[in-house]
Structure 1
């Protein structure tokens, strides 16, 4: 069986592991905005394989927080500028102008640190979404055009920290999907300020997304060794039927579970791509939902982030790893439909 084909591998100039990245289109080019394991921020242009470092100002007037720490990073274009947001376990969320490094806005110091972040557009507004590590955790939505530190809308759910966040639409309304380590999955209708709490997910969440499957909108989650779908209207979960090849997952012994996920469309069919703690990249057919093809093995350590996008006319997965590399994978060789 075929596996995703490696198109490009590029090492970050800092020689440090890459904790997270987000994609942003700017000036007709696709850029990956990356945070490495010592909180350096770089942009990477995969079409030209070109890296650029972006020093960022410290956002807080506090002698105890005089450096920038970023584990979860998000990026979006607003008014022709790339706005980047991020934070870490011990640093609340802040927003910067990527080109100048100037602080645009920041959270209060009593906000918890950041676990996951994502940039995107909600109802025509460029936003940055951040889920924190408090108990219960909070999800905040920041307007990327704002230049002040006004309190953003925040939502609460669950009892474990944020596993992942995603931006999408449901019934034509902008929504944010939020998954947590205890299996809590919540979909927020941002315009209405209303929450749909799904029944507990069968796994602790490390990836969330949205997909249209057979004409129906679904929430997609990933964790451990599973990708599952939920109907937001009924709350019903759809899991893959077990097969003879499936191995029983043992969370105490298996250190190769899913660490990240993104959704997309490949040859007209909804798919998910997951990365794992042992460096694998696996494509899933969401109409089944089951893995298809063989996993690709390119990263030597954890895959920390993945995005599905179109690059030079190809549907690709871009991945970032603890092994200091960004990689681009062609998904087409796996297609069997």
Structure 2
């Protein structure tokens, strides 16, 4: 396991995003004061990324000259040699910055459609916006299109399964789109539970859509089957809400990873049984992402103590 030094602000890390830029991996992070940082796993260096306030030129905020970004969530992407960051928060609409120059490239209007979640998939950003309940696709130049609407939007997920790319949104239900055709291909309903995290993974002959709920349950459906056909009965994975979830292959089998109290918990994606846990004492997990980090598949987690951890398959082996 690789462990970072604490973020220099000595604060909690709210969100993270792994990007591949200039031949190495960088992890972009949002701290609890709305600041943005990047950390390099290869050098161990934290770098502050000061960003101009996205709405400084808007007449609505002209009377508040000291207004600052309120960034809770972010997604980073390297495009044409530039490291770009789409970000916003519970009280800020999404905007896009060039992290290298600090330039604000585009922003959405001040309209109360604050950010519920954001992700980077291929060369596109995807946002889920509150109140409007819209899932939008954004190109780096600011061109956008509405992908669809999901009631009470709360989270996004993206999956690369072979040549196929999926975009998932969770809220009062789960909606799945094919990223290439931008068409909705499935809708699932987790028995009136609010979905707080959603992902997908490839099984032997099927694709599993997995949702984590406000009550701590895991639901899993077969993408190719009917919307009411669960892969297995809902799993009581936590006594409280599940807000962070990822998929890792461990021991040759896909595992759904969730954050519990002082531990990571692993669930078999095919059958739903508990497949292990790893203690994380002192690392109260706030976000996680499964990604390729400097050439190897890993699970990246952030904690309230302001530290990043990078777990490989051997770190997550059943114990």
User: 2: CA distance between counterparts of 1:128 and 1:96?
Assistant: 12
Equivalent in 124, 127, 131 of residue 127 of structure 1: 124
Q: CA 1:269–1:315 in 2, change beyond 3 Å: closer, same or farther? A: same
Equivalent in 161, 165, 168 of residue 177 of structure 1: 168
Q: Partner residue of 2:146?
A: 153
Residues 281, 296 of structure 1: 8 Å contact kept? yes
Q: Partner residue of 2:246?
A: 262
Equivalent in 224, 230, 236 of residue 237 of structure 1: 230
Can you list the C-alpha shifts for 1:57-99, whole angstroms capped at 9, x where unaligned? 1222125273211111001111111110010112110001011
Equivalent in 132, 137, 157 of residue 133 of structure 2: 137
The answer to whether residue 101 in structure 2 is matched with residue 110 in structure 1 is no
Residues 288, 299 of structure 2: 8 Å contact kept? yes
Can you list the C-alpha shifts for 1:248-273, whole angstroms capped at 9, x where unaligned? x6xxxx44x42201123334322222
The answer to whether residue 184 in structure 2 is matched with residue 195 in structure 1 is yes
Q: How far is the alpha carbon of 1:170 from its aligned partner? A: 6.9
Residues 273, 306 of structure 1: 8 Å contact kept? no
The worse-fitting range, judged by mean Cα deviation, of 308-317 and 262-271 is: 308-317
User: 2: CA distance between counterparts of 1:332 and 1:155?
Assistant: 39
After superposition, where does 1:156-305 map in structure 2 within 5 Å?
156-158=149-151, 160-162=152-154, 164-168=155-159, 173-180=164-171, 182=172, 184-202=173-191, 203-223=193-213, 224-234=215-225, 235=227, 236-239=229-232, 254-255=239-240, 257-276=241-260, 278-301=261-284, 303-305=285-287
Residues 125, 138 of structure 2: 8 Å contact kept? yes
Q: How far is the alpha carbon of 1:143 from its aligned partner? A: 0.7
SS in 1 for 2:264: strand
Can you list the C-alpha shifts for 1:159-180, whole angstroms capped at 9, x where unaligned? x231x21223579553311111
Q: CA 1:152–1:241 in 2, change beyond 3 Å: closer, same or farther? A: closer
Structure 1: state its 5+ residue gaps.
1-5
Q: Partner residue of 2:52?
A: 57
Residues 249, 313 of structure 2: 8 Å contact kept? no
SS in 2 for 1:214: coil
Q: CA 1:67–1:176 in 2, change beyond 3 Å: closer, same or farther? A: same
SS in 2 for 1:74: strand
Give the TM-score normalised by structure 2.
Answer: 0.86
Can you list the C-alpha shifts for 1:106-159, whole angstroms capped at 9, x where unaligned? 1122251112111121xxxx011111221x511111112x1xx4443342122x
RCO higher in 1 or 2 (8 Å CA, sep ≥ 6)? 1
User: 1: CA distance between counterparts of 2:275 and 2:80?
Assistant: 40
Q: Partner residue of 2:299?
A: 317
Structure 2: state its 5+ residue gaps.
none
After superposition, where does 1:39-54 map in structure 2 within 5 Å?
39-54=34-49
Q: CA 1:197–1:314 in 2, change beyond 3 Å: closer, same or farther? A: closer
SS in 2 for 1:119: strand
Q: Partner residue of 1:3?
A: none
User: 2: CA distance between counterparts of 1:171 and 1:326?
Assistant: 28
Residues 174, 190 of structure 1: 8 Å contact kept? yes
Q: CA 1:299–1:132 in 2, change beyond 3 Å: closer, same or farther? A: farther
SS in 2 for 1:70: coil
Residues 240, 288 of structure 1: 8 Å contact kept? no
SS in 1 for 2:77: strand
